[in-house]
């Protein structure tokens, strides 16, 4: 599945709109489109996979970093459920 989706997204040509950022394929959406295509194999008319993938492109924004602070969560006591 991964190799099929990677092969399809490698052949998708993205025309870069005249904007601030460079765009790339949203791989999560591409996997869902490929899954839908493979599930409907022979049952429905073929989908235009590349057109569906091109609709979902995301900008590559440089220097975007967000430090995620992990907090330790204490265990929740369920002693009140024993009664």
Rounded-to-integer distance, Cα 24 and Cα 22, Å? 7
* Number of independent structural domains in the chain: 1
Note whether residue 70 is domain-resident: no
User: In this predicted structure, what is the pLDDT of residue 83?
Assistant: 58
User: In this predicted structure, what is the pLDDT of residue 37?
Assistant: 87
Average pLDDT over residues 16-32: 86
Note whether residue 80 is domain-resident: no
Asked if the model's pLDDT at residue 82 lies above 70, the reply is no
User: In this predicted structure, what is the pLDDT of residue 30?
Assistant: 93
Note whether residue 22 is domain-resident: yes
Note whether residue 77 is domain-resident: no
pTM over 0.75? The answer is: no
pLDDT in tens, 34-80: 998 888 877 767 678 888 888 888 888 888 777 777 777 777 777 77
Residue 34 lies in domain: 2-62
Note whether residue 81 is domain-resident: no
Rounded-to-integer distance, Cα 24 and Cα 82, Å? 53
């Amino acid at each position: 599945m991964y190799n099929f989706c990677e092969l399809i997204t490698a052949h998708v040509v993205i025309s870069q709109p005249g904007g601030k950022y460079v765009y790339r394929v949203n791989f999560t959406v591409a996997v869902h489109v490929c899954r839908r295509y493979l599930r409907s194999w022979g049952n429905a008319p073929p989908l235009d996979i590349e057109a569906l993938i091109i609709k979902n492109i995301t900008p590559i924004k440089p220097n975007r970093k967000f430090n995620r602070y992990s907090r330790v969560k204490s265990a929740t006591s369920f002693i009140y459920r024993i009664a």
